[in-house]
Every structure is written in structure tokens, then in C-alpha cells.
């Protein structure tokens, strides 16, 4: 009997927390397709920039990913910032990214 009440209480708390979280999902701005594609690609790039090569095969995998995901991203970021300079929501997202990662040799 006590066990049932605790489960019900936990379920109620979980539902209440979900109710508080729901507005934050609704407030997420819908990003233009080109910005969403950039964010996805650049997040992948940044992930592999932080990867450690543990052996030759892994180094090759990382280098391939860096070339595929990072190459051209500095220019893409600059272009998107110019294109969406008047869109505060988009600019907030784009400002999270370093503007010059290719100059350090990460994608070369």
C-alpha cells in the first residue's frame, strides 16, 4: 500500500516537472534550414576537434571527419552571420561558434 503511494507521488512529481519543461521546448526558435545544417555540421566538427587519436586508424578517422565537417565552416559561419545579421535568435546561436577554426590547421 505504501509502495503504491510513493509511485503515485513520484509520477505526479515527474508530470509536474514535465509541465515546467514544456514551455522551454515551445520557446525554441525555429531555425532556417541552412542554419540548422550548419549547426549540425559544426557541432560534429567541434566534437572531432576534441577527439584524441589513440592509434593510426583512429587518427585517419578523425582527419577524415575534420576534413568533411570542418572544411569551409569558417566561411559558412561568416556568410550566415551576414545573411542573418538582423535575426537575433539566429545570431545568438551563431555567436556560440569560434569564427576561425580552420586557421589553426584543424581542417587542413
Grid cell at residue 79: 556568410
Q: Which residues of the chain have pLDDT under 50?
A: 1-3, 6-28, 105-108
Return the pLDDT at 103: 84
Global confidence as pTM: 0.68
Grid cell at residue 34: 541552412
Q: Which residue has the cell 577524415?
A: 64
Are the CB atoms for 40 and 64 separated by under 8 Å?
no
- Calpha distance 43→35 (Å, rounded): 12
Amino acid at each position: 500500500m505504501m509502495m503504491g503511494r510513493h509511485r503515485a507521488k513520484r509520477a505526479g512529481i515527474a508530470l509536474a516537472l514535465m509541465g515546467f519543461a514544456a514551455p522551454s521546448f515551445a520557446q525554441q526558435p525555429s531555425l532556417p534550414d541552412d542554419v540548422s545544417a550548419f549547426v549540425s555540421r559544426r557541432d560534429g566538427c567541434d566534437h572531432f576537434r576534441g577527439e584524441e587519436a589513440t592509434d593510426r586508424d583512429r587518427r585517419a578517422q578523425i582527419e577524415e571527419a575534420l576534413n568533411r565537417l570542418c572544411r569551409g565552416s569558417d566561411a559558412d559561419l561568416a556568410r550566415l552571420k551576414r545573411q542573418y545579421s538582423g535575426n537575433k535568435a539566429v545570431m545568438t546561436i551563431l555567436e556560440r561558434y569560434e569564427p576561425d577554426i580552420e586557421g589553426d590547421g584543424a581542417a587542413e
